[in-house]
Amino acid sequence: VSLESELAEVVGAVHVVVDPTMTASYEVDWTRRFSGRCRAVVRPDSTEQVVGVLAACRRHGACVVVQGGNTGLVGGATPAGGEVLLSTTRLRELGPVDEIAGQVTVGAGVTLAAVQAHVRPHGFDVGVDLGSRDSATVGGMVATNAGGERVLRYGPMRAQTLGLEAVLSSGDVLAHMGGLPKENTGYDWVGLLTGSEGTLAVLTAVRLRLVPAPAGRAVALLGFDDTRSAMRALSDLRRAVPDLTAAEGFYAAGLAMVRAHTGLGDPLPGGHAVYLLVERTEPAAAVDPAEPLLAALADADVGAAVVVSEGAACRALWRYREAHAEAISADGIPVKLDVAVPVAVLADFVEGLAPTVQQVAPGARVIVFGHLAEGNLHVNVLDAGDNAVAVTDAVLRSVVARGGSISAEHGVGRAKVEWLGLSRTPAELAAMAAVKRALDPTWMLGPGVLLRPAGTPTRRHGGAKPPRGETLGP
Ligand X SMILES: Cc1cc2nc3c(=O)[nH]c(=O)nc-3n(C[C@H](O)[C@H](O)[C@H](O)COP(=O)(O)OP(=O)(O)OC[C@H]3O[C@@H](n4cnc5c(N)ncnc54)[C@H](O)[C@@H]3O)c2cc1C
Residues contributing to the site for ligand X (CB under 6 A): 30, 65-73, 76-77, 88, 108, 130-132, 135-137, 139-141, 143-144, 146-149, 197-198, 202-203, 325, 409-410, 413, 446, 449
Shortest Å distance, C-beta 7 to ligand X = 17
Angle value at C-alpha 279, between 254 and 301, nearest 5 degrees: 75
Number of Cβ atoms within 10 Å of the Cβ of 453:
15
Shortest Å distance, C-beta 11 to ligand X = 15
Shortest Å distance, C-beta 243 to ligand X = 20
Q: What is the 3-state secondary structure (H, E, C) of the chain?
A: CCHHHHHHHHHCHHHEECCHHHHHHHCECCCCCCECCCCEEECCCCHHHHHHHHHHHHHHCCCEEEECCCCCCCCCCCCCCCCEEEECCCCCCECCCECCCCEEEEECCCEHHHHHHHHHHHCEEECCCCCCCCCCEHHHHHHCCCCCCCHHHHCCHHHHEEEEEEECCCCCEEEECCCCCCCCCCCCHHHHHCCCCCCCCEEEEEEEEEEECCCEEEEEEEEECCHHHHHHHHHHHHHHCCCEEEEEEEEHHHHHHHHHHHCCCCCCCCCCCEEEEEEEEECCCCCCCCHHHHHHHHHCCCCEEEEECCHHHHHHHHHHHHCHHHHHHHHCCCEEEEEECCHHHHHHHHHHHHHHHHHHCCCCEEEEEEEHHHCEEEEEEECCHHHHHHHHHHHHHHHHHCCCECCCCCCCCCCCHHHHHHHCCHHHHHHHHHHHHHHCCCCCECCCCCCCCCCCCCCCCCCCCCCCCCCCCC
Which CB, 141 or 391, lies closer to ligand X?
A: 141
The span from the CA of 219 to the CA of 102, in Å, is: 26
Which CB, 67 or 105, lies closer to ligand X?
A: 67
Which CB, 194 or 309, lies closer to ligand X?
A: 194
Which CB, 143 or 444, lies closer to ligand X?
A: 143
Which CB, 69 or 292, lies closer to ligand X?
A: 69
Shortest Å distance, C-beta 446 to ligand X = 5
Which CB, 366 or 445, lies closer to ligand X?
A: 445
Beta-carbon contacts of 156 under 8 Å, excluding residues fewer than 6 positions away, are 128, 145, 146, 147, 148, 409
Shortest Å distance, C-beta 474 to ligand X = 19
Number of Cβ atoms within 10 Å of the Cβ of 103:
21
Which CB, 76 or 467, lies closer to ligand X?
A: 76
Which CB, 223 or 446, lies closer to ligand X?
A: 446
Shortest Å distance, C-beta 450 to ligand X = 8
Shortest Å distance, C-beta 461 to ligand X = 23
Shortest Å distance, C-beta 75 to ligand X = 8
Which CB, 262 or 358, lies closer to ligand X?
A: 262
The span from the CA of 198 to the CA of 106, in Å, is: 18
Which CB, 130 or 384, lies closer to ligand X?
A: 130
Shortest Å distance, C-beta 188 to ligand X = 17
Q: Which residue is nearest to ligand X (CB)?
A: 140
Shortest Å distance, C-beta 167 to ligand X = 9
Which CB, 292 or 446, lies closer to ligand X?
A: 446
Shortest Å distance, C-beta 349 to ligand X = 19
